[in-house]
Amino acid sequence: DIAEAGLRSIVCAPHEVKAIKSKHPNFYAVTPGIRPTGDSQDDQQRVATPIEARANGADAIVVGRPIYQADEPHKVVESILKELS
């Protein structure tokens, strides 16, 4: 069991969080592949919006390209924060 091995956190797809937390509710789940609502999926296969990730139990989200490739990255961050508030 991964918890017996001393693991306390995991990086996983947003759609895997529920299953993992059902067995390990105290795990800290970090989810990459997060895309703002209506944003392109790019080459990612297993993406979710910030709201979907939170609903699945994610503790932290990773938003890469939608922020660093934006003309105005701060506006993308503000949009995500507004969506989550």
Can you give the residue ranges of every domain in the chain? 9-84
Question: Could you tell me the pLDDT band of residue 11, with boundaries at 50, 70 and 90?
Answer: very high
Return d(Cα 28, Cα 60) in angstroms, integer: 8
pLDDT tens string 18-55:
999 999 999 999 999 999 988 777 777 789 999 999 99
Predicted local distance difference test score (pLDDT) of residue 46: 84
Return d(Cα 21, Cα 68) in angstroms, integer: 30
For 9-84, CATH gives: 3.20.20.70
Predicted local distance difference test score (pLDDT) of residue 52: 96
CB 58 within 8 A of CB 29: yes
* Average confidence score pLDDT of the chain: 92
- The share of the chain scoring above pLDDT 90, in percent, equals 76
